[in-house]
Each structure stands twice: as C-alpha cells, then as structure tokens.
Amino acid sequence: MTEMVEGESLDDALKISEQELMNELGIKELGPNRIKCVALPIKVLKMAIITYMSRQNS
C-alpha cells in the first residue's frame, strides 16, 4: 500500500479503496473475515491523513 500512495496527493490517497488494494496485491476474492485484513491498513492511512490535514488547518 505504501508503494501505491507514494507520490500521490493526499486527496488521491484518501480515495484508495479495499478493491484497489486487492487488485494491486493480485487478490481476486476474500471472505468476510479476511476482507478486514485489507480494510485495516486503508482505515489507518485515512485516519492518519485526516489527522494530519486537521492539524495543518488549525
């Protein structure tokens, strides 16, 4: 995922979806329990970006 967002704008990084990450990893399908493994790093990335952006606007 870090390679996917490297050089991207913050707005573009916020738009990355679980499906895009799965495509990048070559994963076609995941069960409901394993999709959480893909969603977690995306959620953390988005939280970090939102926190950073809110601090820049303060």
Domain count for the chain, please give it.
1
Q: What is the pLDDT of residue 3?
A: 92
Q: Cβ–Cβ contacts within 10 Å for residue 36, how many?
A: 12
Give the global pTM. 0.81
How sure is the predictor about 9, in pLDDT bands with cuts at 50, 70 and 90? very high
Range of the domain at 7: 2-56
* 54/58 Cα distance (integer angstroms): 6
**Which region, left, alpha or beta, applies to residue 46 given φ > 0 means left and ψ of -120 to 50 means alpha?**
alpha
What pLDDT, in 10s, does the model give residues 23-51?
999 998 888 888 888 999 999 999 999 99
Query: What's the N-to-C CA distance of the chain in angstroms?
Result: 28
Name the residue among 38, 32, 48 with its Cα closest to residue 17.
38
